[in-house]
Structure 1
Amino acid sequence: MSQRTLSGDFAAGTEKYNTPLEWVQPLADAVGGFDLDPCASTDSDLATVNVRNTGGLSAPWTEFVADVVDDPSEAWVWCNHPYGRGEPPEWLSRASSTPCNVVALSKAAPDTEWFADHVLAADLVSFPNTTSDRGKSRIKFAGEENGADFPNVFSVYADGDVPSELARILGRWGWTLDPSEVVR
């Protein structure tokens, strides 16, 4: 399958910030491909199911993948959700509660309630940093001149163990931790 970009909007669907394939394709490969991208642009074909026209929160993600996998706990979802005020909690609540496996890309905002409630509920959290093999700490979204003006975080919600190849890739890109081992 030829791949282009995955997309998430920052504010209420007004701006698109496409995740560069150099960041997301290795993650897709590590999990055997993404079955659903609830935040994809209409021309994205990275995931088997693209529900941009339906709305990624309009139904449980298990319904969207029902024709793709027999067991929702086998499905993998990529979610570069809208970052606008009030939006991350809705998306990350879904990511952390669905029976599907999810890799989410979010703004790293550890001073927010949604970060503590949802990102730290993940099975694995990874902060891309300047000591990674990527040589940069901020993701430069496709078509943008500069990297984001904020740090990002990947969070993995897995039904079972996080695939070792996924953990290895995220570990190579930056600081990666199991939130259950974080002292709060």
Structure 2
Amino acid sequence: MRLLVCHGGITTLMEAVHRAIPILGLPLQGDQPTNLRRFQELGISELVFTNVLSAETLLTALNKMLVNLKSYEARALKVSSMVRDYQDFTGDGQAFWLQWALRNGATAQSRNYFSTRYRFAWTYYQMPELLSLFAIVALCWLLVASDDQLDQSACRSPISFRRIFPELSVHFDDSRSLAIDESPLMCR
């Protein structure tokens, strides 16, 4: 097999990498576009998205891969050897990684295999959305809890609605409509 046309599922991609086969990817959903984009950056894949899929775009991508098949195969063989080498990891820590770097290259050109761009950002680990939700709930709880204290201290405050307009009282009548009477409040 010289070339694999697939949707970009992780199992299919791992089998293709293991056998050093270049991939023409047609991602459909989920993680498939991300998987195939990473393989394209590694130089072992080309992508054709389904929203632009036509006979012409598929033929163009296929011809591009067939013309440059030797370079795609060489990159696929390099990535395959790296993956196979990693699978033989025995747990010898530093010695393994030093030998692995010597075998697979520790140059600037090969560093894109270990791009930090694909590691999770701090937002994934710290979950700021969840922290902000807890902060909002805590703030609401504090405001409700302190509302009773504010009602009691409003009578003692030098500038207070109740001190300025002591004759107005706002309450709800039985029909739940807002009514304003002129009965005095508890504090004067």
TM tier, shorter chain? under 0.3
Kindly indicate which of the two structures has a greater share of residues assigned to helix. 2
TM-score by length of 2: 0.25
Kindly indicate which of the two structures has a greater share of residues assigned to strand. 1
TM-score by length of 1: 0.25
Please identify the structure whose Cα radius of gyration is greater: 2
